[in-house]
Structure 1
Amino acid sequence: MPQVSFEVAGRPYTVGCRAGEEPHLRALADRLNSLSSAADRASGGLGPERTLLYIALMLADQLSDMEHAPSTGVPAPLLDRLAERLEAIASALEEEPASA
């Protein structure tokens, strides 16, 4: 199983994925990182776990906005798959031991 290493909110992670999904996983990590500065400020600098929580809340808020917005033609099953993938990534990030 391929593994992808990246940083989110200044913490290193290595996550396994299916072959060929490495670029997609890196793109998702980049998206998480794009929210990390704002999330860190919102969390008051109370640590990386709190920052990750705020990143998750920001993404959930974006998803909620999309769900309540007028239909854009994006099929609901696609949105459900996206939510499942985000939850899987969040779980993998939570399970990764902190590096010393």
Structure 2
Amino acid sequence: MAETELQIAGRHYPIRCRDGEEMHLAQLAAMIEQKARRAQQATPGLTEVRTLLFAALFLADELNDLRRETAGRQAQLPLDGDEDDARAIEALADRIEKLRERLADGVADA
């Protein structure tokens, strides 16, 4: 088990994590630190707890927006793509069969 220290909103937090996850945790802490600074700049004099609360709210808001965006994109995708594809293939097969018949009629007439 590895140990690392994260700095968020001016405080140091010793954290244990699985070996090799230190860099990932540092990246997450940097995201939280960025949001904490934003909270402190927007509302000077926040307590540490409120700073972290607002940082968490900012991150949750971004996550919520991303989820909504993803859901919107998924809603635009055709649900029955396989069924639509099958219909398109059947229509093409019908056209090919009609062309084959016309060609066969043309050859028989010649």
Relative to the length of structure 1, the TM-score reads 0.65
Q: Where does 1:35-46 land on structure 2 (aligned, <5 Å)?
A: 35-46=35-46
Query: Aligned partner of 1:71: which letter?
Result: R
1:63 is displaced (CA, Å) by 0.6
- Report Cα offsets for 1:43-81 as digits up to 9, x if no partner: 542211110000000000001001111338xxxxxxxxx
After superposing on structure 2, the runs of 4+ consecutive aligned residues of structure 1 that deviate more than 4 Å are none
Which has the higher mean CA deviation after the structures are superposed, 13-22 or 63-72? 63-72
Query: Aligned partner of 2:64: which letter?
Result: S
Report which of the two structures shows the higher radius of gyration computed on alpha carbons.
2
Matched positions, count: 72
Relative to the length of structure 2, the TM-score reads 0.59
Which runs of 5 or more structure 2 residues have no equivalent in the other structure? 75-110
Q: Is the 1:3–1:15 contact (alpha carbons within 8 Å) kept by the matching residues of 2?
A: yes
Which runs of 5 or more structure 1 residues have no equivalent in the other structure? 73-100
Q: Residues of 2 paired with 1:20 and 1:71: CA distance?
A: 34
Q: Which has the higher contact order (CA 8 A, sep 6+)?
A: 1
1:15 aligned partner: 15
Larger helix fraction of residues: 2
